[in-house]
Structure 1
Amino acid sequence: MSSDPAGHIEDTKLAEALSERYLAYAMSTIMSRSLPDVRDGLKPVHRRLLYAMQQLRLDPTSGFKKCARVVGDVIGKFHPHGDVAVYDALVRLAQDFAVRFPLVEGQGNFGSVDGDGAAAMRYTEARLTAVAQALLDGIAEDAVDFRPTYDGEDAEPVVLPGAFPNLLANGAAGIAVGMATSIPPHNAGEICRAALHLIAHPQAETRDLIAFMPGPDFPTGGVLIEDDASLLSAYETGRGSFRMRARWAVEQGRFGTWVVIVTEIPYQVQKSRLIEQIAELMEQKKLPLLGDVRDESTTDIRLVLEPKTRGVEPEVLMETLFRATSLESRFPLNMNVLTGDRVPQVLGLRAVLRAWLDHRHEVLIRSQRHRLAAVERRLEILDGFLAVYLNLDEVIRIVRDEDEPKRELMRAFSLSEIQAEAVLNMRLRSLRRLEEMEIRKEHAALEKEKAGIAGLLGSDALRWKRIAKQIGEVEKSFGSGALGARRTEIAHPPAPVDLTQAFEVDREPVTVLLSREGWIRAARGHGLDMAAQKFKEGDAAYLQIECQSTDRICVLASGGRIFTIRVADLPRGRGFGQPVRTLVDLPQDEQVVVMFAAGDGRRLLVSTAGRGLMVKDSDMVAEKRTGKQVLTLRDGERAAACVPGEGSHVLMLGDNRRLLIFPADQVPEMVKGLGVALQKYKEAGTGVREARVFDLATGLVWQEGTKTRSAADLADWVGKRGDVGKTAPLWMTRRS
């Protein structure tokens, strides 16, 4: 074969070639772009930015340099990607509304909370902050590994020493191939106190740690309204979400008038887009209690919400806004990070803190070994100086007369090569008696330091004591004052607000109809003759529920997500209605599984084929178009049922005609999740034929008009949750 690769062709299967290349792309995205390192909380581009700025000597006490210079160094030496992406990363590190503890101090226009972009990099300037300096502190002391840059001409750090808990303090967000990360920012002082508790109590659990850091602390403030159980579950598993609301207050005017003033909005909500959203909803008459919205913001946020009438309660007005706009939003938690051995993994709060502390422990050992080697080198030189000070005349003679003075010095005074070199390089002015005293003093100090370092390296307890002291200094520096004060208020979920009167809807009985093609409408009255209802050609009736015009209905999609729709918003009349996808963000590949009226305080059993959980209907209400994920699905699964959950026992009947009855208290009540195994199916693809919760003592009426089956009649099918079950009786399979 010719050594010239030009024109060389190899036969390869397309599937293999695509698989190999896509895997390489996926790994590159995961490892080198999207996921932060658990130790320093940085992605490669951010780490390279900080290191390049340190190389440019842009410390907090120096002057600023043009961002174009910084970006040029980064893409030229470390990060061979586009300058726009690098500059965007630099800008974000400087935005105090995007990053809780900015790592870059910017000078110039770096954008605004309204969504305005930063000025071009040739106009803006930057330097490092004290927080970034803490992340870099010790990098020159062999505290971390370095690797060659992409062109092999330089070296870059694999990870920063990370004295500041950056991952939790500033959070992270990114989308890789097949995985994503979303970590909210937290208060640095609270993180340090939790870390100190974990050092003092290595067996501490997540419940103990969140007593010190009770929740996220967003740069834009706001109010966190999440219950304690959800917070604990999120931090234990590394997955969950946090419910955020804007901070508001009532401002009284003349003659009994009032307005609501919003001073803080949820994190990552653009103020200009929020005002546009409110204006659009007012135009669509979906905010009937709001009369006007004004933006009176300067450097601080001030949104003025004026009610249509002063008889409206402020709490009711704000509840309508929270339900319909981004004044209330959810921030997802997905602590998917690269561990110390470069493996993507979702970690809980305790594991993240443990990884940071272990990294600080390794950094301490490496930096102390580096310092010990330096002390020993200096002591060796000082020993050489002291050896020759008693024989200076002989030293001078050797230097003047010998052809090879170094070798002769080594022979005459038993010096090492390093010692002899240091003696030969010694200045004449150092031959003073005073200098000898200084050398002896330095020698004694270094011997003491050497003993201290040896003792530190030999004692695990002393090392953790030193780390605790360092963390205490970080807490003192960044956990107090204007920068360290908590901005996000931790509050309990508010009491439900009745909005029945808010929308001025006459209460009347209606029947909500959903067709197979997804068209939804409300028809007046109950007990309708479905055969008399008209649908589009090729369409037919699918689901119907009887409710009131003031109700809200919940729609469960096959993807496990619940959507809430106000009946008053549904079209009336003789038309075919409107597609349900125009009312909620229902994905095209999903279908509606069930509809039910919301808000009657009952429990519901939500299940896939074989797994399920109990959910309160109040926890299923989701006012946003995007809905709420209640049932987490695995690949190939779909939501199959949602039935009333009141009763003593659960009945599961599969398509394989296997029947299982088990106690309902074996199914946990959750807000959302994967659920637990309800019935085991040996055959792949087996679906649920019937799911039902009933009172076994009262008996089971399988279909209206049939006899009641007693507990004794059903005893053969009562078992444990997760069993396969037994073949169902003929009267059940024949009539189902």
Structure 2
Amino acid sequence: MPVDTTAGHIEDTKLADALSERYLAYAMSTIMSRSLPDVRDGLKPVHRRMIYAMQQLRLDPSAGFKKCARVVGDVIGKYHPHGDASVYEALVRLAQDFAVRYPLVEGQGNFGSIDGDNAAAMRYTESRLTTVAKALLEGIDEDSVDFRPTYDGEEQEPVVLPAAFPNLLANGAAGIAVGMATSIPPHNVGEICAAALALIRKPGTTTAELMAHMPGPDFPTGGSIVEDGEAMVRAYETGRGAFRIRSKWEVEQGRFGTWQIVVTEIPYQVQKSRLIEQVADLLEQKKLPLLADIRDESATDIRLVLEPKSRGIEPAVLMETLFRATQFESRFSLNMNVLGADQVPGVRSLKDVLQAWLDHRHDVLLRRSANRLVAVNRRLEILDGFLAVYLNLDEVIRIVREEDDAKAALMATFSLTELQADSVLNMRLRSLRRLEEMEIRKEHAALSAERQTLQDLLDQEGLRWKRIASEIKEIQKAFGSGALGKRRSTLAAPPPEIDVESALPVERDPLTVVLSQQGWIRTVRGHGQDLQALRFKEGDGLGMSVECYSNDRLCVFATDGRAFTLRVGDLPRGRGDGQPLRLMIDLSNDQDIITMFPVDDTRKRLLASSSGRGMVVAETAMTAEKRTGKQVLNLKDEESARICVPAEGDHVLVLGQNRRMLVFPLDQLPEMSRGLGVILQKYKDGGLRDAVVFTAETGLAWPDPAAVRNRSFADLRDYLGKRAETGRQAPAWATRKPRG
């Protein structure tokens, strides 16, 4: 009995090598076998296997339905060894007319709804293929595509479908792989076919010219695509971009001048129930001040009724507030990352995708024609044998009755091939009549003509492209018209900017923003509050405060040179400790807050770094309502932002850590929106300590440890110079100013 030498064998491998090898295998499997569609038929492996399995079950559009459980069982048992739940979810999506522009599966039973309801269990639902899926499978039994063994080696599955229907662009695709993703919107098949025909006629057609036939996506749920034409052309040329989709709405007039808005179409992949919940939550939080109520009056179609708070509101302004705050407007990204015929993933342009589909149809036509030519030649060979023996049937009967090797005798007597002799011997007796000979001659003539046509197709590329164009026109006629082919999404220019802020009711409550030493922020109602009486967390205390109003924007400037904008009305109120500011903005723990102030559109600020460079910036240029803020003051290594003060005056006083002071006119500083700034004062060692802007006529109010004293311009005249000078030794009162 042989000894198993592998038992107990341990092989040393570096963990990094083992991880990289296994992760690479997982990544390649995810990219090629799960997440990315094939550019030729637009299908992922699970969808391709499902459609092929349903074809094998004879679930044609004219046949009866079968339980989805039977379909899922065949798919996971023969072709796709994954969970039944994931396969059934894929099948359900192919049957949902609100999820797929041209459904590949016809469902019977509960297949979910646009509200987000789940489909019934697979044991209750039934399915069969649609005519669209039938077009994808057309010619699959004619050696038009390659087959490969299934995972267990017992069956064969197609590598790709013949795809007479342009499924990738028509139905789109979405998937997330490892390190890459795909997102392709659906399009109108009539427009796709028109663009493909234009590309056949003129292979040098540009993407912009193709878009004259195929102007943009066509979503199954309709909606209005509001995107700039040039941006859409760039997106289709590069394969990357995004499309803005808005709900379709109309105004219904009521009695006594009242009105309401009715939304009839919502953006693609937005669940109606969640959209209503989102609007209801915002209403409860009083963040939709122009909307009074929302009602769902949908039946088989969508009908969402929006009631304004007053009839004096402009409908367009009300909808603009909803577009900005809710999913009544959404963005669909374009990332045409697909697998090519060589199974290499890549982002392709619209022209590349169309050309890849046409090239695939050309390969399919070549293979089908060659396969058919072999079949026609075989049949003609058999018919030639029949015609040869029909001239002497008595001799054929004698040979069959008397000869020991009838096959060899027939071949010798009538000069037949082996195939012809076998066909004659297998002929039925009732075929030995004159009428059958006439039918054979008729069939022979038809097949001879077909053979010549097939031979011409294989020899002439021009004829092949004419045949492909004819097939595309048939697809265009079958699926590009009627209720299924009619365009559902409208294309519109980007809407003009609407000033929503002026239409909103203004709530101008006086508030005081308080920031603690440990970075907790909150607002206190009113101005002139005794902030020393506020309570803070243990070990914390008052850091800084600023008086403003509830409709103000608060700008927070940090030592890394970034400015963050917060809406005062959104800050936490009440007697609590507030919230950590660093949870609202993306600021690391090693950076500090220099100052915070309400944004004034007419005011400017002096910004300066620790090295003594600075500039003037308008406060409006510092606003950016995003977590990452806006980099306003650029910094070099080992530098930090130090000064952010109002630029109200005509002169700047700069004080260095070397105790030298310089005064120069403010107009020597440039106004910028972002940059490193210019040198305020030169230093041999140290850097900037302080800077302030003042007016020469009124003098400088300089804080002293004891009090605030006003220094006249005469007191500062000795320090007057030009920007970037070193200055003179500062007086004692200037160096006593506390920093903070």
Q: TM-score range by the shorter chain?
A: 0.7 to 0.9
Mean alpha-carbon deviation: is it higher for 567-576 or for 302-311? 567-576
1:128 alignment counterpart: 129
For residues 208-247 of structure 1, what are the structure 2 equivalents within 5 Å? 208-247=209-248
In structure 1, the gaps of 5 or more residues are: 527-532, 602-616, 629-638, 645-651, 658-692, 707-729
Whole-angstrom CA distance in 2 between matches of 1:375 and 1:435: 19
- 1:309 maps to a residue whose letter is S
Whole-angstrom CA distance in 2 between matches of 1:299 and 1:503: 35
Q: Is the aligned partner of 1:86 residue 2:62?
A: no
CA contact (8 A) 1:505 1:568 kept: no
Whole-angstrom CA distance in 2 between matches of 1:262 and 1:119: 29
1:146 alignment counterpart: 147
CA contact (8 A) 2:564 2:629 kept: no
1:724 alignment counterpart: none
Q: CA RMSD in A?
A: 4.3
Q: Is the aligned partner of 1:347 residue 2:323?
A: no
CA contact (8 A) 1:593 1:640 kept: no
2:38 alignment counterpart: 37
For residues 415-454 of structure 1, what are the structure 2 equivalents within 5 Å? 415-454=416-455
Whole-angstrom CA distance in 2 between matches of 1:383 and 1:294: 77
Pair 108,498 (structure 1): closer, same or farther in 2 beyond 3 Å: same
CA contact (8 A) 2:290 2:309 kept: yes
Whole-angstrom CA distance in 2 between matches of 1:640 and 1:306: 36
Match of 2:678 among 702, 717, 721: 702
Pair 33,621 (structure 1): closer, same or farther in 2 beyond 3 Å: farther
Whole-angstrom CA distance in 2 between matches of 1:212 and 1:619: 43
1:13 alignment counterpart: 14
Q: Is the aligned partner of 1:503 residue 2:504?
A: yes
- SS for the counterpart of 2:263 is strand
- 1:312-338 deviation per Cα after TM superposition (whole angstroms, max 9, x unaligned): 111111111111111111111111111
- SS for the counterpart of 1:85 is helix
- SS for the counterpart of 1:204 is coil
Pair 366,331 (structure 1): closer, same or farther in 2 beyond 3 Å: same
- SS for the counterpart of 1:41 is coil
- SS for the counterpart of 1:263 is strand
- 1:441-461 deviation per Cα after TM superposition (whole angstroms, max 9, x unaligned): 211211111111111111111
- 2:247 maps to a residue whose letter is A
1:690 alignment counterpart: none
- 1:430 maps to a residue whose letter is S
- SS for the counterpart of 1:500 is helix
- 1:540-564 deviation per Cα after TM superposition (whole angstroms, max 9, x unaligned): 989x99998656689999xxx9998
Q: TM-score, normalising length from structure 2?
A: 0.76
- SS for the counterpart of 1:501 is helix
Whole-angstrom CA distance in 2 between matches of 1:107 and 1:48: 21
CA contact (8 A) 1:593 1:641 kept: no
Pair 156,25 (structure 1): closer, same or farther in 2 beyond 3 Å: same
Please state how far the C-alpha of 1:485 moved relative to its aligned partner: 0.7
- SS for the counterpart of 2:500 is coil
CA contact (8 A) 1:694 1:700 kept: no
1:401 alignment counterpart: 402
Whole-angstrom CA distance in 2 between matches of 1:212 and 1:555: 50
Whole-angstrom CA distance in 2 between matches of 1:471 and 1:733: 79
Whole-angstrom CA distance in 2 between matches of 1:338 and 1:353: 14
Mean alpha-carbon deviation: is it higher for 149-158 or for 199-208? 199-208
Whole-angstrom CA distance in 2 between matches of 1:553 and 1:103: 53
- 1:69-105 deviation per Cα after TM superposition (whole angstroms, max 9, x unaligned): 1111111110111111111000000000110100000
For residues 261-410 of structure 1, what are the structure 2 equivalents within 5 Å? 261-410=262-411
- 1:193 maps to a residue whose letter is A
Whole-angstrom CA distance in 1 between matches of 2:33 and 2:292: 50
Pair 580,235 (structure 1): closer, same or farther in 2 beyond 3 Å: farther
Pair 454,548 (structure 1): closer, same or farther in 2 beyond 3 Å: farther
Whole-angstrom CA distance in 2 between matches of 1:279 and 1:440: 78
Whole-angstrom CA distance in 1 between matches of 2:65 and 2:475: 25
CA contact (8 A) 1:170 1:185 kept: yes
Pair 566,367 (structure 1): closer, same or farther in 2 beyond 3 Å: farther
2:606 alignment counterpart: none
- 1:247 maps to a residue whose letter is K
Whole-angstrom CA distance in 2 between matches of 1:596 and 1:324: 26
1:682 alignment counterpart: none
Pair 694,174 (structure 1): closer, same or farther in 2 beyond 3 Å: farther
1:112 alignment counterpart: 113
In structure 2, the gaps of 5 or more residues are: 528-533, 603-618, 640-668, 683-722, 728-740
CA contact (8 A) 2:110 2:125 kept: yes
Whole-angstrom CA distance in 1 between matches of 2:442 and 2:49: 42
CA contact (8 A) 1:702 1:732 kept: no
- 2:42 maps to a residue whose letter is G
Q: Is the aligned partner of 1:478 residue 2:471?
A: no
Q: How many residues align?
A: 633
Rg comparison, structure with higher value: 2
- 1:208-234 deviation per Cα after TM superposition (whole angstroms, max 9, x unaligned): 111211111111111111111221121
Whole-angstrom CA distance in 1 between matches of 2:579 and 2:54: 57
1:457 alignment counterpart: 458
Please state how far the C-alpha of 1:408 moved relative to its aligned partner: 1.2
Whole-angstrom CA distance in 2 between matches of 1:618 and 1:342: 51
Pair 508,233 (structure 1): closer, same or farther in 2 beyond 3 Å: farther
- 1:286 maps to a residue whose letter is K
Question: Sequence identity of aligned pairs in percent?
Answer: 69
CA contact (8 A) 2:228 2:493 kept: yes
Whole-angstrom CA distance in 1 between matches of 2:286 and 2:556: 23
2:710 alignment counterpart: none
Whole-angstrom CA distance in 1 between matches of 2:356 and 2:29: 23
Whole-angstrom CA distance in 1 between matches of 2:726 and 2:363: 65
Whole-angstrom CA distance in 2 between matches of 1:383 and 1:593: 96
Whole-angstrom CA distance in 2 between matches of 1:304 and 1:382: 72
Pair 568,419 (structure 1): closer, same or farther in 2 beyond 3 Å: same
Whole-angstrom CA distance in 2 between matches of 1:87 and 1:372: 40
- 1:374-424 deviation per Cα after TM superposition (whole angstroms, max 9, x unaligned): 111111111111121222222111111111111111112221111110011
CA contact (8 A) 1:555 1:592 kept: no
Q: TM-score, normalising length from structure 1?
A: 0.77
Please state how far the C-alpha of 1:364 moved relative to its aligned partner: 0.7
Whole-angstrom CA distance in 1 between matches of 2:63 and 2:80: 24
Please state how far the C-alpha of 1:643 moved relative to its aligned partner: 4.6
For residues 526-545 of structure 1, what are the structure 2 equivalents within 5 Å? none
- SS for the counterpart of 2:468 is helix
- 1:321 maps to a residue whose letter is L
CA contact (8 A) 1:245 1:328 kept: yes
2:719 alignment counterpart: none
Please state how far the C-alpha of 1:505 moved relative to its aligned partner: 2.6
1:636 alignment counterpart: none
Pair 619,407 (structure 1): closer, same or farther in 2 beyond 3 Å: farther
Please state how far the C-alpha of 1:522 moved relative to its aligned partner: 7.5
CA contact (8 A) 1:262 1:303 kept: yes
Whole-angstrom CA distance in 1 between matches of 2:584 and 2:85: 38
CA contact (8 A) 2:635 2:676 kept: no
Please state how far the C-alpha of 1:478 moved relative to its aligned partner: 0.8
Please state how far the C-alpha of 1:575 moved relative to its aligned partner: 8.0
Whole-angstrom CA distance in 1 between matches of 2:433 and 2:592: 93
1:411 alignment counterpart: 412
Please state how far the C-alpha of 1:3 moved relative to its aligned partner: 3.6
1:198 alignment counterpart: 199
Please state how far the C-alpha of 1:578 moved relative to its aligned partner: 3.4
CA contact (8 A) 1:571 1:578 kept: yes
Whole-angstrom CA distance in 2 between matches of 1:477 and 1:332: 29
CA contact (8 A) 2:399 2:410 kept: yes
- 1:359 maps to a residue whose letter is H
Please state how far the C-alpha of 1:9 moved relative to its aligned partner: 2.6
CA contact (8 A) 2:223 2:247 kept: yes
- 2:678 maps to a residue whose letter is W
